[in-house]
Amino acid sequence: MEQKSIVIHYNEYQKNEGLDINDKKLLESAMEAAGAAYAPYSNFHVGAAVRLSNGEVISANNQENAAYPSGLCAERVAIFYAHAKYPNAYIESLAVTAKVDGKQCESPTYPCGACRQVMAESELRGGHPIKIIIGGEKITQVVNSTDSLLPFVFDNLPK
């Protein structure tokens, strides 16, 4: 037996101080999108925004449904729409944040497993790493690839 380990590197910013201006703008787009989420059951409003290689920014939010789990997370709504509207552009970065009772959550809210898998496949599809910005009111964390969120990605797809 050989024991191995995985190390995850990320940058952490207090109240977004020192965060790249383009990343701040993307996070602001995600925050605005969170405010318009349809979340009557959980009251957990999530917003996501993706910046594409062609310069376009796509924002989206979670969409709940009484026939759970028929709703979709903000990250997947944004990614699927971006790929549908701009199939030849790849995702450069993605920002995610969440609100409860109209107020941004204090700490970062990380994507669920299904969203992480979609993000990883989008990264593989585009051939470029996706920077992921996860914002909270007090702390924002940034990783430079989906490998840091899903190190054992399912990628056994026909090549």
Q: Is the pLDDT of residue 48 over 70?
A: yes
CB 99 within 8 A of CB 105: yes
Q: Which residues are catalytic?
A: 75
Interval 107-157: pLDDT, tens:
999 999 999 999 999 999 999 999 999 999 999 999 999 999 998 888 766
pTM to 2 decimals?
A: 0.94
* Mean pLDDT, residues 41-49 taken together: 97
- Please, which pLDDT band fits residue 8 given cuts at 50, 70 and 90? very high
Residue ranges per domain, the chain? 11-148
CATH class in words for 11-148: alpha beta
Q: Is the pLDDT of residue 159 over 90?
A: no
- Please, which pLDDT band fits residue 9 given cuts at 50, 70 and 90? very high
Give pLDDT, residue 69. 82
Mean confidence (pLDDT) of the chain: 95
Q: How far apart are CA 96 and CA 131, in angstroms?
A: 11
Q: Which amino acid is at 32?
A: E
